[in-house]
Chains A and B, each alone.
Chain A
Amino acid sequence: MISETQKWKVGQRASPQKLSSSKGLFRVGKGFALGSILPIILLIAWEIAARVGLLAPHLLPAPSIILEKIISMYRDGSLFGHVSITLTRVLLGFAIGTAAAVVIGAIVGYAKTAEQVLDPLFQAFRSIPSLAWVPLFILWMGIGEPSKISLIAVGVFFPVYLNIVAGIQGVDRKLIEVGRIYQLTPFQLTKRIILPAALPSFITGMRSGLGLGWMFVVAAELMGASEGLGYLLVVGQNTYSPDTVIASILLFAILGKGTDALLKWIEYRSLKWQDSINNQA
């Protein structure tokens, strides 16, 4: 009953392994190359400007010097320590913040009463600049890891929470009715319809939460730490070594981009069903 042309057309539109085909890889490579043009030009211009003496080396050293700094840190083994402690803090804070946001966001999004009770309070907390928590957390938990991770968790919590609530409340009533036709229990309805439907905005929330997590780890480490990339920033400032400062900024950029790319990949994998511009053949 379905014509051959229709089959062919659908087959074209829904070719499954777009990424694994050589054409798909080429496209990804092309995107990567296009995205690299501007950074590379800037780096070369910067290097040349530094070499000919246009830039003062005690303010903005050449990229090659910064690279040397990173390599020397790698050689003496301190690089791994700084990167891993910062990454651990971010990931732990991110995990705690996201988990709390999922639980509370799901309740607030699903139950009208819970929203009326809890949401005004959370909105008020949200409007507190998160850095204002720093002194309190240090008073409560001292200068160690718990206060830093709590701060990051607070930063991650709000974007994830807001997006989950919005995602759940935005689930199409028509799809929920399909579940009710099959007499799903509230738990089954949540698991089989509401959560998958809210997944896109949940992932959006996670991505902006992760961005904030990276912001807050710097704040936390600037306040007092003996290791970590934020600590390197302080050291660089105190020892007048711009190469250390820029090296850690660069490492932040790489780590931030890397973790975001990971989430973006997860997003791509889990939202292939979406009828969006990104998924067009």
Chain B
Amino acid sequence: MLNVKRLKRMFNNNQAGFHNINFSVDKGEIIGILGTSGCGKSTLLRVLSGLDPYYEGNISSSDEANNGVGMMFQEPRLLPWLSVRKNISFGLKKEERTSTKYQTYLDLVGLTGFENHYPKDLSGGMAQRTAIARALITEPEVLLLDEPFSALDAFTKMQLQDLLLSIWQKKKTTMLLVTHDIDEALYLCDRILILKGQPGEVFAEVQVERSKPRTRGDAYLSQQKAHILNLLNVEQKAAGELK
């Protein structure tokens, strides 16, 4: 449903960004984009979300509903002057904003009863739950997630990964997840694109052939993790630097 062809976005004298990116996403798929820092992962999402219009190449979508994209950032980015309820309803049309549509999504992310709290009174995990609800309420054709859990502690992170999976099971939302956490990518994604280089390009694609929900630390996943680490060349590089 989402097709990306020869996508290119470079800056800093072609030292940063990405080029020659081709991939397509099917409906209901969760695609992971994994890479070391500086390979253009976040830039790729900014281009796909429309925040960065200075790209070359082609992005096409076959979805007729045209609900646009939903985006979740590393930080919750809630509007501090709006209550949880109004933050969740933010992306809706004016008529719907005052309706009770938010309630479904409030319940979905497990924040029932917190609709009148302001963001300052929420913990990091709760704020990120609110952000998930806000991104989902407009029923976007693709949900773009830019390292959404990287600022959270390990336990909250796992809780929210499970929450994301349970939402996927209910709604079959198509997702594009940028992450630098290999375990997270292996736990959530159907396919993982590995970006490498500066500027980055797709270096490899890893299929995760296990049905979700998966068990963390599963032998197959560990094996895939070793494979990915090998692809990313992380271990050799670290060893090389030590010498």
Which residues of chain A are within 8 angstroms of B49 by Cβ–Cβ distance?
181
The answer on a CB contact under 8 Å between B121 and A193 is no
18 other A-B residue contacts (CB within 8 Å) besides A178-B77, A181-B69 = A2-B126, A6-B126, A7-B113, A10-B121, A10-B126, A13-B121, A14-B121, A174-B77, A177-B73, A181-B70, A181-B71, A182-B68, A183-B68, A196-B79, A273-B80, A273-B120, A274-B80, A275-B120
**Nearest B residue to A181 by beta-carbon distance?**
B71
Contact of B138 with A by CB under 8 A: yes
Contact of B199 with A by CB under 8 A: no
**How many angstroms between the C-alpha atoms of A1 and B121 in the bound complex?**
18
The answer on a CB contact under 8 Å between A178 and B79 is yes
User: C-beta contact mask, B118-137 vs A, less than 8 Å → 1, else 0?
Assistant: 11111100100000000000
Contact of A31 with B by CB under 8 A: no
**Nearest A residue to B83 by beta-carbon distance?**
A273
The answer on a CB contact under 8 Å between B163 and A1 is yes
**How many angstroms between the C-alpha atoms of A108 and B182 in the bound complex?**
46
User: C-beta contact mask, A190-201 vs B, less than 8 Å → 1, else 0?
Assistant: 001100110100
Which residues of chain B are within 8 angstroms of A181 by Cβ–Cβ distance?
49-51, 68-71, 91
Contact of B187 with A by CB under 8 A: no
Contact of A257 with B by CB under 8 A: no
Q: Which of A180, A272, A279 contacts B51 (CB 8 A)?
A: A180
The answer on a CB contact under 8 Å between B114 and A10 is yes
In the complex, the 8 A-B pairs of residues with the closest C-beta atoms, listed nearest first: A275-B120, A1-B110, A14-B121, A182-B91, A273-B118, A273-B81, A196-B81, A181-B71
User: C-beta contact mask, B59-88 vs A, less than 8 Å → 1, else 0?
Assistant: 000000000111101010101111000000
Contact of B117 with A by CB under 8 A: yes
**Nearest B residue to A199 by beta-carbon distance?**
B81
Known: A10-B117, A14-B121, A275-B120. A174 touches B75 (CB 8 A): yes
User: C-beta contact mask, A131-170 vs B, less than 8 Å → 1, else 0?
Assistant: 0000000000000000000000000000000000000000
**Complex interface residues of chain A between 11 and 55 (CB less than 8 A to chain B):** 13-14, 16
Minimum CB–CB distance from A72 to chain B (whole Å) comes to 49
Chain A residues with CB under 8 Å of chain B are 1-2, 6-7, 10, 13-14, 16, 174-175, 177-178, 180-183, 192-193, 196-197, 199, 272-275, 279
**Nearest A residue to B74 by beta-carbon distance?**
A174
Minimum CB–CB distance from A176 to chain B (whole Å) comes to 10
Contact of B90 with A by CB under 8 A: yes
The answer on a CB contact under 8 Å between A177 and B80 is no
**How many angstroms between the C-alpha atoms of A182 and B163 in the bound complex?**
24
**Nearest A residue to B116 by beta-carbon distance?**
A16
Contact of B159 with A by CB under 8 A: yes
**How many angstroms between the C-alpha atoms of A203 and B114 in the bound complex?**
29
Which residues of chain A are within 8 angstroms of B110 by Cβ–Cβ distance?
1-2
The answer on a CB contact under 8 Å between B117 and A175 is no
Minimum CB–CB distance from A79 to chain B (whole Å) comes to 42
Contact of B1 with A by CB under 8 A: no
Which residues of chain A are within 8 angstroms of B81 by Cβ–Cβ distance?
196-197, 199, 273
**How many angstroms between the C-alpha atoms of A183 and B67 in the bound complex?**
11
**How many angstroms between the C-alpha atoms of A6 and B116 in the bound complex?**
16
Between A6, A10, A174, A272, the greatest number of chain B beta carbons within 10 A of the residue's beta carbon is seen for: A10
Minimum CB–CB distance from A169 to chain B (whole Å) comes to 18
Minimum CB–CB distance from A263 to chain B (whole Å) comes to 18
The answer on a CB contact under 8 Å between B111 and A2 is yes
